[in-house]
Chain A
């Protein structure tokens, strides 16, 4: 009886939350995303949080995405997910001392909302997103590297550059990796799991957790304040290390 009452109250609360904040992208998966990626915690759809993407993916294997957050203090975590992807979790980004801006490319299996949820220190998730139409097939194809068999020669190699700018320097990083999703027949999941960006003194600037939908040979763009020299540290799910130094 008590359990029944608890369920009733819980359900009423969740209905209230849904009624208060309808998903602007009207996705059938939003509640599941809320439970899975926001741990069911309080959220608000917030125009300060933007996901930029083309309305239609020209190449489902390489859909460019940019995250831009303005005027949100004390960001703890940014989680990117695509509701209708077979593997919805795309990445986590924890900017420590750099602006909460990140650009990357991802694989889409079909048209889907692509969202970023930004958790601030008060425990609230601020959610932004956009819908990307896609022809599909992005997640179930083997990587080019795995298909051609030459991925092992370049695995983990980093190329990068730093552009010095008046406001924020721009860091662009490319890490050679197949980023296989595990959804192509007979090819196991093989992807970079984390990547930390530090300055030359070893101060942590940003942490990234990457998941299967990140495109092959990930290309990342960050705005990095006045810093010009970086170290990168990371590893993939097979324990291969990534370690590189970047200077202008």
Chain B
């Protein structure tokens, strides 16, 4: 009996490891609106890159998808889950920005228009292959047969009604040079992309902090009922915006002060995390990454040309 159990256990394990199923459970967050919430972890072979929130709006004319996830497998499983749940066809995809966890599922959606801001389309053309290679390294076989599939349409700022949902594209920047937020005026749901993180530290590889902070003010001014951040739990208030803002302000001040005091990169990476952010997932890792991204420009501003001697 024990031997049988053992054998069964091994078989089920083997099946689990081979089928690369993302634990995809769409949760309804408002009328016609669903979110597939990812983990607040870093990319790993264990999570397969399931670290990002994607969403969809079920309109009378079909389903609008917001971000396609990290891989071909993710995109395929996302689309299958959507079609099974709604019984409707996907009519449009929006990509919020050019980071790999948000668009590498695109190749499943080549039969529908994929919209993104022009800066996002440029970013994917310039850096998509590099991102994709890096993802293969970090999550391995979960990426099998994933190919960079750039968005096909320019998203333009403004309102458009699709299947009785009044959707507004907000063309913003700060997290990257092109950050699309989608505001559904009909349901009051705001998909912020990675302009907002919730209890997960903000990432900055293409960030301009000053611009990002201004953008957060404009998001906070919107009268949304539900906020879907790029990473972390869905919220019904502005707390995630306030938290993202407070973290970015702390980061900006910390880096500026460190550069003015002559600290080296590693010393800045070892800055203690304030109590307010200690429970924020991955904060120490993201601080280290942000120092790499943002510190070189600041430290150079604190050097003076030396007198060239003979």
Cβ of B137 under 8 Å from chain A? yes
Chain B residues with CB under 8 A of A170: 262
Cβ of B289 under 8 Å from chain A? yes
Chain A residues with CB under 8 A of B299: 172, 219
Say whether, besides A62-B296, A135-B137, A174-B300, A158 and B308 are in contact (CB < 8 Å): yes
How would residues 139 to 174 of chain B score, 1 for a CB under 8 Å from any chain A CB and 0 otherwise?
000000000000000000000000000000000000
B269 A231 Cβ-Cβ under 8 A: no
By secondary structure, the A interface counts as: strand
Cβ of A161 under 8 Å from chain B? yes
Chain B residues with CB under 8 A of A173: 306
Question: A111–B292 Cα gap in the complex (Å)?
Answer: 17
Cβ of A74 under 8 Å from chain B? no
Chain A residues 118 to 172 lying within 8 A of chain B, measured CB to CB, are 135, 157-161, 163, 170, 172
Cβ of A27 under 8 Å from chain B? no
A244 B308 Cβ-Cβ under 8 A: yes
Partner of A245, one of B264, B289, B309: B309
Partner of B309, one of A52, A64, A172, A231: A231
Partner of B306, one of A52, A64, A65, A158: A158
Chain B residues 262 to 302 lying within 8 A of chain A, measured CB to CB, are 262, 264-267, 269, 288-289, 291-293, 296, 299-300, 302
Cβ of A66 under 8 Å from chain B? yes
Say whether, besides A54-B288, A174-B300, A243 and B308 are in contact (CB < 8 Å): yes
Question: A76–B138 Cα gap in the complex (Å)?
Answer: 41
Question: Can you name 29 A-B pairs with beta carbons within 8 Å?
Answer: A52-B266, A62-B292, A62-B296, A64-B264, A64-B291, A64-B292, A66-B264, A66-B266, A66-B267, A103-B265, A157-B308, A158-B305, A158-B306, A158-B308, A159-B300, A159-B303, A159-B306, A161-B303, A161-B304, A163-B261, A173-B306, A174-B300, A219-B296, A243-B310, A244-B306, A244-B309, A245-B306, A245-B307, A247-B307
